[in-house]
Amino acid sequence: MPRPETVVPDQVAAPYPVAFDSSIVCGFGRGSSELGIPTANVNLNDGLNQLDVGIYYGWCRLTKVDHPECQVKRDDGNTVSFNYGNDLAADEVDQALPMVMSIGYNPYYNNQEKTAEVHIIHKFPHNFYGARIQGLVLGYIRPELDYTTKEALIKDINTDITIAQEVLAREPYLEYRTSV
Ligand code: ADP
Ligand code: RBF
Ligand code: MG
Model confidence pLDDT, tens digit, residues 132-166: 999 999 999 999 999 999 999 999 999 999 999 99
> What domain count does the chain have?
1
> Is there a domain that residue 8 lies in?
no
Q: Specify the CATH number for the domain of residue 133.
A: 2.40.30.30
Using pLDDT thresholds of 50, 70 and 90, give the confidence band for residue 180.
very high
53 within domain boundaries = yes
For ligand 2, whether the C-beta of 92 sits within 6 Å is no
What does the pLDDT look like over 57-103, one tens digit per residue?
A: 999 999 999 999 999 999 889 999 999 999 999 999 999 999 999 99
Domain of 159 in residue numbering reads as 18-178
- Has residue 5 been placed in a domain? no
Q: How far is the CA of 161 from the centre of ligand 2 (A)?
A: 12
What lies within 8 Å, CB to CB, of 24 at 6+ separation is 40, 41, 42, 85, 128, 129, 130, 131, 132, 133
Residue 132: inside a domain, yes or no? Answer: yes
Sign of the alpha-carbon dihedral angle for 130, 133, 137, 142: negative
**Ligand 1 pocket check: which of 32, 84, 126 to mutate, most ligand atoms within 8 Å of Cβ?**
32
Mean pLDDT of the chain: 96
Residue 5 burial (10 A CB sphere; 0-12, 13-18, 19+): exposed
How many whole angstroms from 10 Cα to the centroid of ligand 1? 31
CA separation for the pair 94, 60 (Å, rounded): 9
The reply to whether 117 belongs to the active site is: yes
Cis status, amide bond into 17, omega within 30 of 0:
yes
Residue 6 lies in a domain: no
Q: Which ligand is nearest to the CA of 106?
A: 2
> What is the spatial order of strands in the sheet that 97-104 belongs to?
18-23, 132-142, 54-63, 97-104, 115-120, 40-42
**pTM over the 0.85 mark:** yes
